[in-house]
Amino acid sequence: MALVPYGGGGVLPGLHSPAATYRFAGRPVRIEQSWAQLGVAAVVWDAALVLCAYLEAGNVDLCDRAVIELGAGTGLLGIVAALLGARVTVTDRAAALALLESNVRANLPPELQPRAAVKELTWGRDLGSFPPGAFDLVLGSDIVYLEETFADLLRTLEHLCAEHTVILLSCRIRYERDLDFLRMLRGRFSVHEVHYDPTKDVRIYKAQRGGRKDEI
């Protein structure tokens, strides 16, 4: 099933623009893209830009926090989290890892390289390599879009999260079925919308186990 970006209109992101440069954490971040070869995993989505800006604005204390990004695609969000002080594990499916690794390595200064790992994590699988509760923060931008992955994505979040873990998901709600995932998430976590960017029509949801208040 094809993901339709930008409400279905316009040019697919990245199709004519193999690389894009952003500015976060006081430095340029140059992201190589490859829509033609890899599709949705190989372009930067608006939801990533909105969550990067949310992190950069200081809404979350990232200093030395253990962060995992799911469905990282090009890696922009994980890179920005690392530049802002987190120890990051940036994950996606196997096919996305080469471009992801290359973007991560190209954008982190030498002293931050050891603080970023790129790993395969297909939702619902590969979970044995990721100990429950090892992460303070789980990030995901534009990863709620494939109905057939919802159960596996939820299982992955449940596996990763301990009481202290915060999940931040940035989403453009394109279809009614996207709301189904949020209903599933609310069945397992306490979920709040914490930000809405009307210019990009992207919402950020924060989720935690139980009713626990913010730890991050």
Q: How many residues bind ligand SAM (CB under 6 A)?
A: 23
For residues 96 and 168, which CB has a smaller minimum distance to ligand SAM in the complex? 96
Q: Cβ 12 to ligand SAM, closest distance in Å?
A: 11
CA distance 42 to 185: 26
CA distance 79 to 50: 14
For residues 72 and 185, which CB has a smaller minimum distance to ligand SAM in the complex? 72
Q: Does 31 bind ligand SAM (CB under 6 A)?
A: no
Q: Cβ 92 to ligand SAM, closest distance in Å?
A: 5
Angle between helix axes 150-160 and 176-186 (nearest 10 degrees) is 30
The upper half-sphere exposure of residue 42, i.e. CA atoms within 13 Å in the direction of its Cβ, equals 21
**According to CB under 6 A, which residues from 37 to 96 bind ligand SAM?**
40-41, 44-45, 47-48, 71-74, 92-93, 96
118 close to 107: Cβ distance less than 8 angstroms? no
Burial of 213 (0-12, 13-18, 19+ CB in 10 A): exposed
Q: Which of 107, 141, 165, 208 binds ligand SAM (CB under 6 A)?
A: 141
Q: Using alpha carbons only, what angle is made at residue 87 by residues 61 and 28, rounded to the nearest 5 degrees?
A: 80
- One character per residue 146-185, x = contact with ligand SAM (rule: CB under 6 A): x--x--x---------------------------------
Residues that bind ligand SAM in the complex, under the rule CB under 6 A: 3, 40-41, 44-45, 47-48, 71-74, 92-93, 96, 122-123, 141-143, 145-146, 149, 152
